[in-house]
């Protein structure tokens, strides 16, 4: 691999005890509005990644590729996500521990969820499982429309209990809490970085600074710094203690491979010196779903609005942080269920998220509508019912770009629905979701299934298992939860990249701390678990250097961080 021209070490940065590097820019005000994710996806806050074509998924998408939104901004994907605060099932973490990851069972990680959380609705939750003094504000949105509340009622009518789904029970329904504060987004950047940014002299932050590789001595196998690009310069920064990589499940494996850590054959193909042969990039998992299952609304509950009304709502939100823009619409109504394929008691295999959609536009041109959607989540005349696959059997892989491994987009082989059981679970999830239309609640509101066939599946009888399977493979969608590509596991696990202390196997002074370390994806949204991983990883670093190496007063280390807590 040809090395770019380097500039001398930036002396100012070397004086810092902690250096945080972010590939994107500052978090803009537009990202504060909860209903605005459709406006900022595909913007310059997004890496713009797409999956590679596959015979099993995304078949109707342009060029057979699905978009995977990833935040390229302070706060990473927590700045552009949908803010859902769900931790997963306790058995998810006990399973991690059973795979050889001591210290990662549910009872071990629960204190870190509690530590991170500042829950602002103590009267409506089980206080035993929640925190009230953490950095991350968690609460119900100040606004719910009629459809959101009706969906909760409909789930209850179908026999699903209304739960706090951040305890030991998930199967049921809930009005979700979100990482927001009084109607305004709470990203990891807002929660953790802004409060200290101009107060701690030992912290330097560099934005628009894209890490190219970690510097590792090939003889001692010790990480000692990073090279990063800022503008037209390549800058070297040295680390006295550790390099911490938190670039997420797509970019963390890319940085490791560019640094000589990864599958040896793949690295040699790109002329990269192999420092450590590890299964970097493998074990890719995601929570997949589909477009196309739509309930049409009547004028009784449709929330479409004129441009003038939307503008008034923007000004109202700016002045009060209230109103329809202070929420994510029907996405607040959540349910976890089991299909007939799930064998573990009390553990869900399908989650229902319900998106706002414009019925006429979607069924006129489903691909163009998805690719050009810029309508806030508050305004809609249809509900997109999304059964989300929680425990995929399929596994993908991240590879370096063939023509430009450093600056080119990585190759994302998602392998969605590669295993037939995944497709079967989603089809069963679709069929169960249609029971909502049998409820008195939704019938009274006039909701109805749109029975127009989408173009790619018009040759199959609408409503059959084959039709829903066709939709899933043609109009594949995701809720953007990539995980697992730097798998945590013991040294005798041939697919493990990091150990239970999050240290890269065989490399000194290098850790990965983000969703890529999940050995198996959690059965729920990944934002809260990733912050838990960050909290736990932070304690591991402090414990190692303070307890085993230095007195507290001598804790002055140089720490290089790429996209801290970003994913």
- Tell me the binding residues for FAD: 73, 77, 211
Could you say which of 118, 130, 287, 481 is catalytic? 481
Cα–Cα distance for residue pair 198/192, rounded to 1 Å: 12
Cβ(281)–Cβ(346) under 8 Å?
no
Cβ(393)–Cβ(422) under 8 Å?
yes
CA angle in degrees (0–180, nearest 5) for 31-32-36: 55
For tokens 């550790």, the residue is: 242
End-to-end CA distance of the chain: 28
Residue 307's CB: how many other CB atoms inside 10 A? 7
Instruction: Check residue 541 and report its DSSP letter.
Output: H
Of the candidates 513, 514, 488, 565, which has an alpha carbon nearest to the alpha carbon of residue 242?
513
Of the candidates 187, 135, 229, which has an alpha carbon nearest to the alpha carbon of residue 567?
187
Cα–Cα distance for residue pair 478/288, rounded to 1 Å: 4
Encode 225-265 in three state secondary structure. Answer: EEEEEECCEEEEEECCCEEEECCHHHHHHHHHHHCCEECHH
Tell me the sheet residues that pair with 508: 222
Of the candidates 317, 420, 251, which has an alpha carbon nearest to the alpha carbon of residue 34?
317
3-state secondary structure of 311: helix
Q: Compute the Cα dihedral for 36, 38, 42, 46 and give only its sign.
A: positive
Known binding positions: 73, 77, 211
Per-residue tokens: 229: 């690009």
Cβ(122)–Cβ(130) under 8 Å?
yes
Active site residue 481: yes
Cβ(247)–Cβ(514) under 8 Å?
yes
At residue 554, φ and ψ (nearest 5 deg) are: -105, 15
Cβ(406)–Cβ(1) under 8 Å?
yes
**Contacts with 120 (C-beta within 8 Å, 6 or more apart), sequence order:** 137, 138, 139, 181
Residues with a known catalytic role: 481
């Amino acid at each position: 691999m040809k090395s770019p021209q380097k500039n001398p070490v930036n002396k100012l940065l070397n004086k810092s005890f902690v250096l945080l590097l972010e590939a994107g820019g500052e978090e803009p005000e537009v990202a504060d509005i909860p209903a605005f994710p459709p406006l900022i996806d595909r913007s310059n806050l997004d890496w713009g990644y797409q999956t590679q074509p596959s015979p099993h998924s995304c078949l109707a998408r342009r060029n057979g590729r699905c978009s995977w939104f990833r935040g390229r901004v302070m706060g990473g994907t927590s700045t552009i996500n949908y803010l859902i605060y769900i931790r997963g099932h306790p058995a998810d973490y006990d399973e991690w521990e059973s795979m050889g990851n001591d210290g990662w069972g549910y009872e071990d990680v629960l204190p870190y969820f509690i530590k991170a959380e500042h829950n602002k609705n103590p009267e409506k939750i089980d206080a035993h499982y929640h925190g009230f003094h953490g950095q991350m504000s968690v609460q119900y949105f100040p606004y719910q429309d009629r459809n959101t509340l009706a969906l909760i009622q409909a789930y209850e009518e179908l026999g699903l209990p209304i739960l706090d789904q951040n305890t030991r029970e998930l199967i049921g329904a809930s009005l979700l809490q979100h990482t927001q504060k009084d109607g305004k987004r709470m990203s990891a950047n807002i929660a953790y970085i802004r409060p200290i940014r101009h107060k701690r002299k030992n912290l330097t932050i560099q934005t628009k600074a894209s890490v190219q590789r970690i510097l590792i001595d090939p003889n001692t196998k010790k990480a000692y710094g990073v090279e990063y690009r800022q503008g037209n310069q390549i800058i070297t920064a040295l680390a006295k203690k550790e390099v911490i990589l938190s670039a997420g499940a797509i970019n963390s494996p890319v940085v490791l491979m560019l640094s000589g850590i990864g599958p040896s054959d793949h690295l040699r193909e790109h002329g990269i010196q192999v420092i450590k042969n590890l299964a970097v990039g493998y074990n890719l998992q995601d929570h997949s779903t589909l477009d196309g299952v739509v309930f049409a609304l009547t004028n009784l509950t449709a929330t479409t609005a004129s441009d003038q009304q939307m503008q008034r709502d923007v000004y109202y939100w700016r002045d009060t942080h209230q109103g329809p823009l202070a929420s994510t619409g029907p996405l607040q109504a959540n349910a976890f269920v089991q299909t007939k394929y799930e064998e573990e008691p009390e553990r869900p295999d399908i989650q229902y998220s319900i998106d706002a959609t414009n019925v006429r536009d979607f069924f006129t041109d489903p691909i163009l509508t998805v690719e050009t959607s810029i309508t806030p989540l508050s305004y809609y005349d249809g509900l997109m019912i999304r059964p989300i696959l929680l425990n995929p059997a399929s596994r993908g892989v991240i590879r370096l770009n063939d023509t430009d491994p450093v600056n080119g987009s990585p190759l994302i082989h998602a392998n969605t629905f590669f295993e037939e059981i995944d497709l079967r679970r989603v089809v069963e999830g679709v069929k169960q979701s249609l029971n909502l239309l049998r409820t008195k609640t939704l019938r009274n509101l006039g909701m109805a299934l749109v029975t127009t066939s989408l173009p790619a599946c018009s040759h199959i009888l609408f409503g059959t298992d084959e039709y829903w399977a066709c939709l899933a493979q043609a109009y594949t969608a995701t809720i953007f939860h990539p995980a697992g590509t730097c798998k945590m596991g013991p040294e005798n696990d041939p697919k493990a990249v990091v150990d239970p202390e999050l240290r890269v196997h065989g490399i000194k002074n290098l850790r990965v701390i983000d969703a890529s370390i999940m050995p198996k994806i959690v059965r729920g949204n990944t934002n809260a678990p990733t912050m838990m991983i960050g909290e736990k990883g932070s304690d591991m670093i402090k414990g190692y250097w303070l307890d085993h190496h230095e007195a507290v007063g001598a804790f002055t280390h140089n720490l290089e961080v790429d996209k801290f807590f970003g994913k």
